[in-house]
Amino acid sequence: MLFVSIIAGKTSYRFGIPTLLLFLAIGMLAGSDGIGRIHFDNPQIAQFIGVVSLNFILFSGGLDTNWKSVKPILGQGIALSTLGVLLTALLLGTFVWFLTDFSIYESLLLGSIVSSTDAAAVFSILRSKSLALKAKLRPTLELESGSNDPMAYVLTIAFLSLVVNQDKSLISIIPMFFQQMILGAIAGFLFGRISKFVINKIKLVFEGLYPVLMIALMFITFSTTDALGGNGFLAIYISAVYLGNQDLIHKKTIMKMYDGLAWLMQIILFLTLGLLVYPSHVFPVMGIGLLVSLFLIIVARPVSVFISLMFFKMKIRRRLYISWVGFRGAVPIVFATYPLLAGIDQAEMIFNIVFFISVTSVMIQGTTLTVVAKWLGVALPERVKPISETEKFISEIPKSAMKEISVAPACYAVDRRIVDLGFPKSTIIAMIKRGGRYITPSGSTVIEPNDTLLILSDDEKSLRNIQDYLTKPGK
């Protein structure tokens, strides 16, 4: 199934089909109602796989988040991932309440489950399409999708508790909400700092162990935060954003490893959820599911986006595009397993409706990203797009100024690791000449006496500052 998913993903975009939708379809074909006849009917295992997968997906997305590009739109991202999610849940929940025989809390529970955009869907579809967008739209969309799952999770748990405990009032969930979000944010920042210290100081023998160490720290961050009553998803995302913008030993190795792991987890997650669903159970709710899905896409999402961004200066067409990029993917399906495990009356119907909404959302919105971007005029012209990741990487390397700097035995840099030197982001050590050989440095490389460093930087002034910094007398 994994092999078939990869092959299918390779050819999917030739036909305009989102890769994640194919992964889901392969899981369904392999399931009880499909040709594979694999019987899988265990929401508990599916939920566990979902939570583990989301750890990797959110952490990988956080590591790839550039703080410089996110900082100017931080307020917009936070507004969308908090107020936007809440408004979507309330609007959709109210619509479901009028449309069905669900109670108000069951309706709001369904609205909460599908209230957040899906990080796996947004990250993979935006990046695989290589769609270049104007005015920081891309970082806004990726920040929202990476940070709004915690809000949806809290709302899901809160309204599920109200469905299970009918005697509780709506006010009773407010303390839990603030506890989850505040503890999650604090824990994410603290564990990010701790993780940086551990990674840079532990001095492992093998480079390949550093990604493994990062995985261990990620799980410690999530599980400890969750055990303390905080939001583990929020904690790992904040921790990853912090780490992704710090100098770490073997950072490139860690980033590449996590990119592959995130794809692996996306495939496993969608295959598992495809196996879990019974298409024969989804067909009876297609009518309701289609109405709810269309209301979400056309009404609930745009209204919540426009209200959330009303205090920010932004053109209407950009608000419309943000409204359109509101994919619902695997995350809502994972959250829909919580009512199943709680055993509430409408759990199976909620799960099937959520599944249908997720599929139609990715199918309708995911396949039209480029078309809508061009129609709204928010796509950059082809000539200014990076042709490939390699070109993008090369273009980001500062190479307008270059200098060889010799390090005397008494200099400050001697016996220090590159990661501890505190180089500015615009300056890199491209090569080290040591004796008669050349070394390609990494963060853990220790500067030795009489090394000659090949420095690349933005300008001559920066080079002079770096030379003064490296060659000053050691302490």
Do 47 and 185 lie in one domain? The reply is yes
At residue 393 the predicted structure's pLDDT band, cuts being 50, 70 and 90, is very low
Average pLDDT of span 393-408: 62
At residue 80 the predicted structure's pLDDT band, cuts being 50, 70 and 90, is very high
Do 20 and 137 lie in one domain? The reply is yes
Distance between CA atoms of residues 87 and 303, nearest Å: 8
Do 7 and 119 lie in one domain? The reply is yes
**Percent of the chain residues past pLDDT 90, beyond the cut:** 32
Q: Is residue 392 part of a domain?
A: no
**Residue 221 burial (10 A CB sphere; 0-12, 13-18, 19+):** buried
Do 450 and 325 lie in one domain? The reply is no
pLDDT (0 to 100) of residue 211? 92
At residue 390 the predicted structure's pLDDT band, cuts being 50, 70 and 90, is very low
CB 175 within 8 A of CB 252: no
Distance between CA atoms of residues 244 and 265, nearest Å: 20
pLDDT (0 to 100) of residue 217? 96
Q: Is residue 412 part of a domain?
A: yes
At residue 84 the predicted structure's pLDDT band, cuts being 50, 70 and 90, is very high
- Is 391 a residue whose pLDDT tops 50? no
- Is 398 a residue whose pLDDT tops 70? no
Q: At 440, which CATH number?
A: 3.30.70.1450
Do 327 and 249 lie in one domain? The reply is yes
Do 86 and 221 lie in one domain? The reply is yes
How many Å is the Cα radius of gyration of the chain? 24
- Residue 29's alpha-carbon distances to 23, 66, 276, 318, 335, in angstroms, are 10, 38, 11, 38, 22
For residue range 287-340, what is the model confidence (pLDDT) as tens digits? 999 999 999 999 999 999 999 999 888 889 889 988 998 777 778 888 999 999
Average pLDDT of span 153-159: 92
Q: At 307, which CATH number?
A: 1.20.1530.20
Structural domain for 441, as ranges? 398-471
Average pLDDT of span 395-415: 70
Q: Which tokens go with 417? A: 């690791």
Residue 383 CB contacts under 8 Å (≥ 6 apart), including other chains: none
At residue 396 the predicted structure's pLDDT band, cuts being 50, 70 and 90, is very low
Q: Is residue 386 part of a domain?
A: no
pLDDT (0 to 100) of residue 237? 92
pLDDT (0 to 100) of residue 251? 85
Q: Is residue 387 part of a domain?
A: no
Nearest CA-CA partner of 199 in 64, 58, 63: 63
Distance between CA atoms of residues 226 and 402, nearest Å: 48
- Which residue among 380, 410, 442 closes a domain? 380
pLDDT (0 to 100) of residue 392? 44
Do 73 and 185 lie in one domain? The reply is yes
Do 443 and 294 lie in one domain? The reply is no
Q: Is residue 237 part of a domain?
A: yes
- Is 248 a residue whose pLDDT tops 80? yes
Q: Which residue has the tokens 């392969």?
A: 26
Distance between CA atoms of residues 171 and 366, nearest Å: 37
Distance between CA atoms of residues 255 and 69, nearest Å: 18
- Predicted TM-score (pTM) of the model is 0.78
Distance between CA atoms of residues 159 and 348, nearest Å: 16
When divided into structural domains, the chain yields a total of 2
The neighbour count for residue 189, using CB atoms within 10 Å, is 15
At residue 387 the predicted structure's pLDDT band, cuts being 50, 70 and 90, is very low
Q: Is residue 389 part of a domain?
A: no
pLDDT (0 to 100) of residue 129? 56
Average pLDDT of the chain?
84
Do 360 and 412 lie in one domain? The reply is no
Do 40 and 163 lie in one domain? The reply is yes
Q: Is residue 393 part of a domain?
A: no
Do 364 and 408 lie in one domain? The reply is no
Mean pLDDT check: name the lowest of 173-177, 280-284, 466-470.
Answer: 466-470
Q: What are phi and psi of 458, to 5 degrees?
A: -70, -40
Distance between CA atoms of residues 406 and 26, nearest Å: 58
Residue 149, Cα to own-chain centre: how many angstroms? 9
Do 329 and 458 lie in one domain? The reply is no
At residue 400 the predicted structure's pLDDT band, cuts being 50, 70 and 90, is low
